[in-house]
Amino acid sequence: MYRIVMKKNLNPTVTMMKIDAEAVAKKAEPGQFIILRVDENGERIPLTVADFDREAGTVTIIFQIVGAATQKLNQKKEGEYICDFVGPLGVASHTEGLKKVAVVGGGVGCAIAFPIAKKLHLQGCEVHSVVGFRNKDLVILEDEFKGVSDKLKMMTDDGSYGEKGLVTNALKELIDSGEKYDEVIAIGPLIMMKFVCALTKEYGIKTVVSMNPIMIDGTGMCGGCRLTVGGQTKFACVDGPDFDGHQVDFDEAMERSNMYKDFERRRHEEICNLLNKEVN
């Protein structure tokens, strides 16, 4: 059992938790992920390591409440326990040797982008962060990004905070102004990463994306997280989650990601109704 030592609501649909998981904290690196279960009958939930403290033995996770399993997780309080917390899994993000990088995050994907930006900053890399949200109410981790970024562009779709526009608008402005990047790292919704990669391909800038498809066992055995990269089948859990964005078949990935949305919506409604009955 793993104790929740801190819980914080970042916005109405996104929650941060620190989990007492000493063995995972000792080995975790930015870009890796864990798989947890809330209870013995719970669904396996893959979540990226948002931060870690090796001395305290804690791992930070950030999750969006989008389905039944994350709804159950969000019901947990500080001091309570979750059943399983397995990791670190996946291949850590490659950051060595990079001198200047643009880190692009969208929505809850910023929780994955932040630890990578932090590691790059600590290694002495010049970090330009471009982070985007639908509106002001959904902004997360602004202060954290400020602390690790030489330049920070805050974007909102509706202009309610920062600059109005998409992350691709801000990235294009930076490139056109003369900024030369060793690499662009893009993490967020599939459609966002697709268009970031389309933009950087025009400029010949290497671009790495973090793929988080449907995942079950996290060991490469089930094949649920398969992707097509450069015409070959890859598994996000063992080959990634980072891949060359210019080689990823985003259209196929988006089609597969929508397969279970109706089922998940029904399960979410069932769990919400059950929790409401328990409260009443």
Q: Encode 64-90: b = buried (16+ Cβ within 10 Å), e = exposed.
A: bbebbbbbbbbebeeeeebebbbbbbb
The two tokens of residue 121 are: 């900053």
Integer Cα distance of 198 and 91 in angstroms: 25
Cite the beta strand spans of 107-219 per DSSP E: 126-133, 151-156, 163-164, 183-187, 207-210
CATH 3.40.50.80 domain position(s) in the chain: 95-201
Q: Which residues pair with 61 in a beta bridge?
A: 17, 49
Residue 84: the pLDDT is 92
Give the pTM. Answer: 0.85
CB 17 within 8 A of CB 3: no
Residue 248: the pLDDT is 93
Topology of the domain comprising 2-89? Elongation Factor Tu (Ef-tu); domain 3 (2.40.30)
First-to-final CA distance of the chain: 29
The two tokens of residue 219 are: 């060991």
Topology of the domain comprising 95-201? Rossmann fold (3.40.50)
**Tens place of pLDDT per residue across the chain (280 aa):** 899 999 999 988 899 999 999 999 999 999 899 999 999 888 888 898 999 999 999 999 999 888 888 899 999 999 999 999 998 998 888 999 999 999 999 999 998 899 999 999 999 999 999 999 999 999 999 999 999 999 999 999 999 999 999 999 999 999 999 999 999 999 999 999 999 999 999 999 999 999 886 666 666 677 777 889 999 999 887 888 899 999 999 998 888 777 666 555 555 455 555 555 555 5
CB 212 within 8 A of CB 108: no
Residue 277: the pLDDT is 56
CATH 2.40.30.10 domain position(s) in the chain: 2-89
Q: How many CA atoms lie within 13 A of 116 on its CB side?
A: 33
Largest CA distance in the chain: 60
Integer Cα distance of 213 and 253 in angstroms: 7
